[in-house]
Structure 1
Amino acid sequence: MIESHSRAWWRATLALCLGSFLVFINLYAPQPLLPALREAYGVSTLVAGLVMSVSTLALAVSLLVFGPLSDAIGRGAIMRITLLVAGLLSLAISMAPNFETLLVLRTLQGFMLGGLPAVAIAWMGDEFDRPALLTAVGLYIGGNTLGGIGGRVIGGAVAEISSASASFLVVGLMTLVGVAVFWRLLPRAQAFTPRPFELRGALGDLLAHLRNPMLLAAYLLGGLNFLIFINQYSYLTFRLAEAPFGLGSRFLGLIFVTYLGGTLGSMLSGRLARFLPQPLCMMIGVMILMGGTLVTLAGSLGWIITGLTINAFGFFLAHSMASSWVSRHAHMARGSASALYLVFYYCGASLGGLWLEPFWHLAGWPGVTIGSWLVLIVTLGIAAWLWRQERHLDAR
């Protein structure tokens, strides 16, 4: 097993963080463009949001394919090939002639983008010992946040200077360069033991994970938290594009720099887990997310940005803990277990607009805040239940 901070650990962790960064610059580059797309195509906020929703939903579906497949053929090839195809699809999107074609290509890209997230943490679970795993997962999630920031900032800035098509072109070219580096850095797996792929067996593994209450609770916590967190950003772009703020695409992209709070939260998660039980860390993360959501009610742009930064810290703290919890408590088919966590995670992202849209229409941003708190109260209860279950297990 690879030990923490060894040469092999640094090389593998750097590769996976880079891969994570590439996935999320592609996934989130269009988000600051949503108000402009709504105006350009004359669609509603919900329809404009499909640019994000179709890709995250396709990503969720792909996890059900790549996770079980990786248990049979290995993780490395899946990560390399899907990243390459996703980069090529960004180039194709830059030449999309209309909104419908853009949605189709974004759907295909979302499916390819699922390859690395489906198996990266399972790869770590195979190769790293427990201390190395906890620290690496925190850094890997940090790569998620940096990719989320980079994609949105690049997407917004390039679109304002040139066009939305140019945003996809730049992101695609960056991805292809990054894939070449990732391809070389990722070490060959040493501890992976393949299992023959059988559809019945793969479905059996997924059902077994869903029947495990310790895993199912983490799945629900991750999915519901992400339902709120990512869709708050989408509705804030509409809020900040309107009076009295009137922000353009470039400045809307810059609000996602608040994801740096999430980078810090995910990087500190491994250290925090050395002193506190993981479910308690999840509870702390959810409560911080609830507090940050209240701060965004302020009418000042500065306070809104502060609230978003607090939200990012709390969300990614809880997310890091929940995802590593799944890898620890899945005693078989880790690829399927990690993939299933991300299915819930990205389904939450896709469905969040349906949940928050009525609150937005009824009461604007205060309505979105109320809708957010209703869900976060549930996830806080889930984390508390996991803490009780862990204490019972430790007492035996």
Structure 2
Amino acid sequence: MSQQNDTAIKSGSGLFWRATLALCIGSYIIFANLYLTQPLLPMLAQEFDVSALEAGWSFTVSTLMLGLSLLVYGPLSDAIGRRGLMILSIGGTALITLLLSQSHDYTTLLILRGLQGFLMGGLPAIAIAYMGDEYSKKALMIAVGVYISGNTLGGISGRLIGGFVGDWLGWSAAFEVMTLLSVVGLVLFALLLPPSRRFKAKLLHPIAMGRDLAGHLRNPLLLAAYLIGGFNFFIFINQYSYITFVLSDAPYNLPASLLGMLFLTYLSGTLGSAFSGKIAQHMPQPMVIALGICVLICGSLVTLLPSLIGIIAGFLLNSFGFFLAHSSASGWVSRAAPHARASANSLYLVFYYLGASSGGFYLDPFWQWAGWSGVVAGSIIVLGITLSLSLWLLLQDKRHLQAQPA
């Protein structure tokens, strides 16, 4: 046992920074590819003569397949190893991006984006498991925070690249630039990530896995957290898709490059994530979730102000509130799961990405009915439900504390 501990990657060591940098690069590439199309939606709608909802499918089909793939990659990596699957995930993502740049019809583009979404899931499903195998406990706590920042930076960069390159050279050039960036990231990832030294293969047990997942879904506390995370993302991420159509039209008439800049509002979400742990030291986690949802509701209402500054301010509030609630809900899942915590967290991410992929279908009738005001109205309805669920969790939490012996 002591020998195994000696092989663990220690925080602050050269190996720690090498491995963590590799995982951040991999995360950056995956999420940059995932979000590349969001600022391009008006351009894709015009190029392929499709509606706003249909243009949004280029994003939602990827998130749908990514969410579903998480149920596959985790158990598969337990059986055959982590590193090779992560390299395959990044390499496959890069190859599909190159093929996307050559798409001549929208059906082909959607099929490729769906396949790409499934390939993308390999890295986020496995990266933290790799850290859990190879890092010491102290190093793991530090590395996870750094790794999540790679997710955020990848999402922002993908949107900025899509916006600026798309505006300058066209949508297909945005995919070509992303291909080049992905290949460079793949090479760096493969060179930097140390081989697994502490991994122990496990047999696949589909029946036991299914039993664990079914048990989580029957747990009302976990199910409430899954619905909160999924439906909050259902609204939050798809608001960004519809606001691109608002801002690309009169009176704003923003080009794709400036549409991409809107996604810098995600940076306030980094603060929301950071504050969630500190706030949770002073109030119950369900109350922090409720607080985040209330901020998200307020931000949505602020976007109704008829000015670009109002819209930006609203999305800054949205991002802060969403990530405050998301971080707290994710932490609640780890706390509330009585067993099989890894599969409980995986199921949370499945709901999370399924929410992202389906929110556009729900919001589109509201968009057709009343434009952006309709989108906000539809958003408030769903956020009212998630707020109610968070308050129900708070009530259950208080009952649990009162039932404990003094």
Same fold, TM exceeding 0.5?
yes
Residue 239 of structure 1 pairs with residue 246 of structure 2:
yes
Q: How does 1:49-60 map to 2 (within 5 A)?
A: 49-60=56-67
Partner residue in 1 for 2:39: 32
Aligned counterparts of 1:257 and 1:271: Cα–Cα separation in 2 = 24
Q: 1:107 to 1:28 in 2, by over 3 A?
A: same
2:288 to 281, 285, 290: 281
Deviations 1:270-322 (A, max 9, x none): 44444443333222221211111111111110111111111111112222222
Aligned counterparts of 1:389 and 1:33: Cα–Cα separation in 2 = 44
Aligned counterparts of 1:3 and 1:290: Cα–Cα separation in 2 = 42
Partner residue in 2 for 1:144: 151
Aligned counterparts of 1:371 and 1:112: Cα–Cα separation in 2 = 32
- Contact 1:119/1:335 (<8 A) preserved: no
Deviations 1:345-366 (A, max 9, x none): 1111111111111111111111
TM-score (norm 1): 0.90
Residue 154 of structure 1 pairs with residue 146 of structure 2:
no
Q: Which has the higher contact order (CA 8 A, sep 6+)?
A: 1
> What's the offset of the Cα at 1:35?
0.8
Aligned counterparts of 1:353 and 1:322: Cα–Cα separation in 2 = 22
Deviates more, 1:92-101 or 1:242-251: 92-101
Deviates more, 1:204-213 or 1:245-254: 204-213
Query: 5+ residue gaps in structure 2?
Result: none
Deviations 1:338-387 (A, max 9, x none): 32212111111111111111111111111111111111112122222333
Partner residue in 2 for 1:70: 77
- Contact 1:68/1:333 (<8 A) preserved: no
Partner residue in 1 for 2:100: 93
Aligned counterparts of 1:313 and 1:129: Cα–Cα separation in 2 = 31
Partner residue in 1 for 2:329: 322
Query: 5+ residue gaps in structure 1?
Result: none
- Contact 2:304/2:311 (<8 A) preserved: yes
- CA RMSD, aligned part only? 2.7
Task: Name the aligned partner's letter for residue 364 of structure 1.
Answer: G
> What's the offset of the Cα at 1:390?
3.6
- Count of aligned positions: 396
Q: 1:115 to 1:327 in 2, by over 3 A?
A: farther
Percent identical across equivalent pairs? Answer: 53
- Contact 2:43/2:171 (<8 A) preserved: no
Structure index of larger Rg: 2
- Contact 1:78/1:115 (<8 A) preserved: yes
2:217 to 210, 215, 218: 210
- Which secondary structure state, in structure 2, belongs to the residue aligned with residue 245 of structure 1? coil
- Contact 1:285/1:315 (<8 A) preserved: yes
Aligned counterparts of 1:353 and 1:209: Cα–Cα separation in 2 = 27
TM-score (norm 2): 0.88
Aligned counterparts of 2:273 and 2:258: Cα–Cα separation in 1 = 25
- Which secondary structure state, in structure 2, belongs to the residue aligned with residue 298 of structure 1? coil
Q: 1:289 to 1:365 in 2, by over 3 A?
A: same
